[in-house]
Each structure stands twice: as C-alpha cells, then as structure tokens.
C-alpha cells in the first residue's frame, strides 16, 4: 500500500484533512455572532466535536486495526484531559482583561487556530528529535514530571488571579501598537477615525484620550488574544511530549491533538459553568502527567537497557479514561465544602 511521508496511506491523510477543515468551517459559520454561548448549546457542540474525534478513531479502526485506533484514542483523551488546566488559565485571563461573554468565543477561535499551527510545529520537532535516541525521550519525561510537580505546588498558591499587565505577550503588542483601553465591538485593531468615533459616543463623555493621525490602535481584545496564544504555546511544551509518549507516528499524534483542540472552544463554556463543581478534575490531570512521565521514562529505559517492560496502548487508554472518570465522579461524590459567611 502506498504510504505518505506521515507513515499512512493517502486516503487516511485525505480523510483527516477533509474532516478537520469541514468541521472547523461549520463551527466558524455557526458562531459568527457575538452572543454568549449557553451551557446547553456549548454541551451540544462539545458532543458534536466528540463525535468528530471518535468518528476519525472509528475510521482508523476500520482502516488500520484496533492498535492504531487505541493509540489515537489514548492521545485524543489525554490531550482533552490535559487541556482542562489550560482552559482554567484562559478563564483567569478573560477575568483579568474583563472580556464580556459575547466576545470570548471570538478570542478562543483565534487561540484555537494558533494552537493548531503551533502544535503542528512542535509535533514535527518532537517526533524528529526522538530519532536522535532514547535520551531525548528521557528529557521529555523530565519535562512532564516537572510540569506535574509545578501543578502540585500551585495548589497552595491560592485563588488569586495573575496580573497580566507585564506578561511578555502583552508587552510585545504594546511595543508594536499604541493601545486604546476600551473595547469597541469585536475589533482587535482600530484606525484613528474609529477611535475618534468611539470617543464621540455619549457614554465616553469626559474620557480623555489623545488620538494620533494615521495610527492603528490595539484594543484589549488583541492583548487578550496575544496572552492566550502565548499561554497555549507554553502549554504545548508539556502536552506534546505527553501525547508523543503514546505514539511516535506524527499523524496519530497530530490528529489526536487537533481533534481534541478543535473542541476546546465550546468545552471552555462547559467547564466555565461547571468549574465550581469539578474540584477534583485537576488532581486527575496531575496524576496523568505523572503517569505519562513514567511511561516516557519506561520506554526510554527499555531502549537503553532492553528490560522488556512496557505499557500497552490499550492499558494507557484505560488509565486515561479511568483517571478522567474518577476525577469527575469524585467531584460530585465529594463536593466542595460551603464556607460560612
């Protein structure tokens, strides 16, 4: 059978591309308006994206067998679970920038596009580095272990929202563009004329802002997008090695991550509504990071010393799904204690 450079026949690669582009186009058309997304609507869209992800897994099962499908589903589930922590960070970013609910899905859309691009780059680099030898895999294990330890330590830092005024992405945008400190619809950039038109509105009476001619101004929405993008890039440094621990095949790794990432925009609104209830889900994320680090270290040590021990794709899938289920179940069985005012 003819193979592509990704290690799979052209049919598989074509189905992946068509499915991903079509689903992304449908989502973009359906969410063009600046309206808050209800929990019901977000839940239905999350099920839509889940069906797309599982559908591609079913296709892999029919075309390439149970082992390939298990590798994909493990990577898919792992990326979804690990993304929970990143979505919680994005919630804090939205709160700090005071982004209204109606505009959050627009910021998330561009964040998702950035995530797709950067993950493609990181997957290509990561899978290429593995060819250098098992010590690279050991380095990946250390990175994942370090992330898990940092998450454990962060639990004791309180619930304070981080100050993003000195965030590198925020400073970069401010270095490139002057900033108009008010939101003007869903615009990321404003011309001098648009700024003057906004200042002329009755609600902005008394607000003083010096407008320069022939200058484009960034809005807080663009600053927020930049911070979200850089946050996701930093998150990808952890999640890409984690999914690579499941499979070294670039298409398996990238398709699993991409279909998981594509559903994050609507999953965000589900998690935002249920955040106060899913208090033990982050513990499941930490556990899975330790598991992934162990799996990476085990694979690397097997290549170095040939001890013969490994964790199969089916066992990995069971651990990921089991940890997710336990984290969700524990959150409802042991709900947060209500503090008395």
**pLDDT truncated to tens, each residue of the chain (341 aa)?**
444 445 678 899 899 999 988 888 887 787 777 788 888 888 998 999 999 999 999 999 999 998 899 999 988 988 888 888 788 889 889 999 999 988 998 898 888 888 888 888 988 888 888 778 888 888 888 888 888 888 887 654 444 557 888 899 999 999 999 999 999 988 999 999 999 999 999 988 888 899 988 899 999 999 999 999 998 888 887 788 888 888 888 889 899 998 998 888 888 988 888 877 888 888 888 898 898 889 889 988 888 888 888 888 788 888 888 988 998 899 888 876 654 44
Q: Rounded to an integer, what distance in angstroms lies between the CA atom of residue 181 and that of residue 177? A: 12
Q: Rounded to an integer, what distance in angstroms lies between the CA atom of residue 121 and that of residue 112? A: 14
- Name the strand (E) or helix (H) holding 87: helix 66-97
Residue 280: domain span? 10-165+229-333
Q: Could you tell me if residue 213 is inside a domain? A: no
The whole-number pLDDT of residue 240 equals 84
Q: Could you tell me if residue 210 is inside a domain? A: no
The whole-number pLDDT of residue 87 equals 87
The whole-number pLDDT of residue 176 equals 94
User: What values do phi and psi take at 209, rounded to 5?
Assistant: -150, 125
308 Ramachandran zone, left/alpha/beta (phi>0; psi -120 to 50)? left
The whole-number pLDDT of residue 161 equals 57
Can you point out the beta strands (E) in the chain? 189-190, 217-218
Q: Rounded to an integer, what distance in angstroms lies between the CA atom of residue 195 and that of residue 184? A: 9
Q: Is 176 exposed, middle or buried (0-12, 13-18, 19+ CB in 10 A)?
A: exposed
Q: Could you tell me if residue 4 is inside a domain? A: no
Q: Could you tell me if residue 181 is inside a domain? A: no
Q: Could you tell me if residue 265 is inside a domain? A: yes
The whole-number pLDDT of residue 264 equals 85
- Name the strand (E) or helix (H) holding 290: helix 281-305
The whole-number pLDDT of residue 278 equals 80
Q: Is 246 exposed, middle or buried (0-12, 13-18, 19+ CB in 10 A)?
A: buried
The three-state DSSP-derived secondary structure of 41-73 is HHHHHHHHHHHHHHHHHHHHHHHHCHHHHHHHH
Using a cut of 0.85, tell me whether the model's pTM lies above it. Answer: no
The whole-number pLDDT of residue 54 equals 93
Measured in whole angstroms, the distance separating CA 45 from the mean position of its chain's CA atoms is 16
Q: Could you tell me if residue 28 is inside a domain? A: yes
| Domain count for the chain | 1
Place of tokens 């320069």: 212
């Amino acid at each position: 059978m003819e193979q592509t450079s990704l290690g799979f026949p052209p049919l598989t690669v074509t189905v992946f591309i068509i499915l991903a582009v079509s689903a992304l186009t449908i989502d973009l058309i359906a969410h063009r308006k600046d309206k808050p997304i209800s929990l019901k609507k977000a839940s239905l869209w999350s099920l839509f994206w889940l069906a797309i992800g599982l559908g591609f897994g079913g296709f892999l099962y029919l075309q390439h067998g149970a082992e390939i499908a298990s590798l994909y589903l493990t990577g898919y589930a792992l990326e979804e679970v690990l993304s929970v922590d990143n979505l919680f960070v994005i919630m804090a970013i939205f709160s700090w920038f005071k982004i209204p609910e109606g505009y959050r899905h627009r910021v998330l859309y561009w964040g998702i596009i950035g995530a797709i691009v950067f993950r493609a780059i990181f997957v290509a680099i990561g899978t290429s580095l593995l060819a250098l030898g098992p010590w690279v895999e050991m380095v990946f294990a250390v990175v994942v272990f370090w992330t898990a330890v940092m998450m454990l330590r962060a639990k004791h830092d309180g619930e304070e929202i981080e100050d993003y005024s000195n965030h590198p992405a925020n400073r970069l945008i401010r270095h490139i563009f002057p900033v108009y400190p008010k939101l003007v619809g869903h615009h990321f950039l404003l011309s001098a004329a648009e700024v003057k038109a906004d200042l002329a509105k009755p609600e902005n009476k008394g607000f003083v802002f010096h407008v320069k001619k022939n200058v484009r101004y960034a809005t807080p929405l663009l600053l927020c997008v930049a911070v979200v993008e850089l946050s996701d890039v930093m998150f990808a440094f952890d999640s890409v090695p984690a999914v690579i621990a499941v499979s070294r095949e670039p298409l398996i790794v990238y398709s699993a991550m991409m279909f998981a990432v594509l559903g994050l925009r609507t999953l965000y609104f589900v998690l935002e509504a249920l955040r106060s209830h899913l208090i033990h889900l982050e513990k499941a994320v930490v556990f899975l990071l330790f598991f992934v680090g162990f799996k990476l270290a085990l694979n690397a040590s097997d290549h170095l010393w040939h001890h013969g021990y490994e964790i199969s794709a089916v066992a990995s899938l069971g651990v990921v799904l089991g940890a997710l289920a336990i984290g969700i179940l524990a959150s409802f069985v042991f709900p947060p204690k209500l503090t008395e005012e």
